[in-house]
């Protein structure tokens, strides 16, 4: 079975930096047409400008994907550029501290909007397009599309200050399972990659703010005793998007160096 994704078209959100950027770059290197989406237009333009010198299979769309009109415009831009969409990677996410005892804070709602509802609404929109493409082409077998959500081990291991992030991550995992069942008859697979001990953009900033002590603590509670690169998450996403994972749906693959195998500890679950 092939793990190739060459010739497909993918939308990757959160693609301006960190894990989302690593996924977009890897997909482009593998021969995928990639629409990179994020709010940071400057970083997107810079990345696509450099990449287009070599391959020309990357484009970008900047906007606030919490807005339904922006999501519709993203799909339209992708179809205008590449004609079809075969893969959606929901890598846009936000990490924000929240006070568990303050009922006046909006962080939990904000993170549900960003980390859950944006991925859900975009998945619904893109899945409808995938189904239409299949009907228009009279495709009767094989994979119609693949959706991969980027989640976190915060769904299972939490930090006292990360109530909203943990809730939104757990909700995203359950959304993944529910959508997998709902879309199975349409031959669209839905999976997720939950990561921790990976050098995401948020962890990089956290380490910068907290110095070497936090790094040592993370290494100490990670059996493989290292922090992974974002490309290691990208490898798992490529597998889930490929035909090699053709009978895999509704699964949450954990990339954390064994961290969730240990007793929970109060470290940021990036």
Average pLDDT of the residues in 157-162: 84
Sorted by where each begins, the domain ranges of the chain are 9-261
Q: Give the pLDDT confidence score for residue 100 in this predicted structure.
A: 82
**189 vs 267, residue with greater confidence:** 189
Q: Give the pLDDT confidence score for residue 266 in this predicted structure.
A: 57
Average pLDDT of the residues in 158-177: 93
Residue 114 per-residue DSSP state? I
Measured between alpha carbons, how far is 227 from 222 in angstroms, rounded to an integer? 8
DSSP one-letter string for 145-213: EEEEEEEEGGGTS--TT-HHHHHHHHHHHHHHHHHHHHHGGGTEEEEEEEE-SB--HHHHHHHHHHTHH
Q: Give the pLDDT confidence score for residue 68 in this predicted structure.
A: 97
Q: Give the pLDDT confidence score for residue 209 in this predicted structure.
A: 81
* Residue 131 reports pLDDT greater than 90: yes
**Domain 9-261, CATH:** 3.40.50.720
Do 93 and 115 meet the contact criterion of CB atoms below 8 Å apart? yes
Measured between alpha carbons, how far is 81 from 1 in angstroms, rounded to an integer? 29
* Residue 180 reports pLDDT greater than 90: yes
Average pLDDT of the residues in 159-180: 94
pTM score? 0.93
């Amino acid at each position: 079975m092939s793990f190739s994704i060459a010739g497909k078209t993918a939308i990757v959100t959160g693609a301006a930096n960190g894990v989302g950027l690593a996924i977009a770059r890897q997909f482009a290197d593998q021969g995928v047409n990639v629409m990179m989406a994020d709010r940071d237009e400057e970083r997107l333009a810079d990345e696509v400008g450099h990449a287009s010198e070599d391959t020309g299979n990357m484009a970008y769309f900047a906007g606030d994907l919490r807005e339904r009109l922006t999501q519709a415009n993203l799909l339209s831009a992708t179809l205008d550029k590449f004609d079809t969409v075969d893969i959606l990677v929901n890598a846009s996410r936000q990490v924000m501290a929240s006070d568990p005892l303050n009922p006046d804070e909006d962080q939990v709602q904000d993170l549900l909007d960003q980390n859950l509802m944006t991925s859900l609404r975009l998945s619904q929109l893109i899945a409808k397009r995938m189904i239409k493409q299949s009907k228009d082409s009279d495709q009767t077998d094989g994979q119609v599309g693949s959706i991969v959500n980027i989640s976190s081990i915060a769904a299972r291991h939490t930090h006292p200050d990360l109530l909203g992030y943990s809730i939104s991550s757990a909700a995203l995992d359950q959304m993944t399972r529910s959508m997998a069942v709902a879309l199975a008859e349409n031959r669209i697979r839905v999976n997720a990659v939950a990561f921790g001990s990976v050098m995401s953009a948020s962890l990089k900033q956290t380490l910068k703010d907290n110095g070497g002590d936090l790094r040592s603590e993370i290494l100490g509670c990670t059996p493989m005793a290292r922090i992974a690169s974002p490309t290691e998450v990208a490898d798992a996403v490529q597998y889930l998007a490929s035909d090699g994972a053709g009978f895999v749906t509704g699964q949450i693959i954990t990339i954390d160096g064994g961290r969730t195998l240990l007793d929970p500890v109060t470290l940021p679950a990036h």
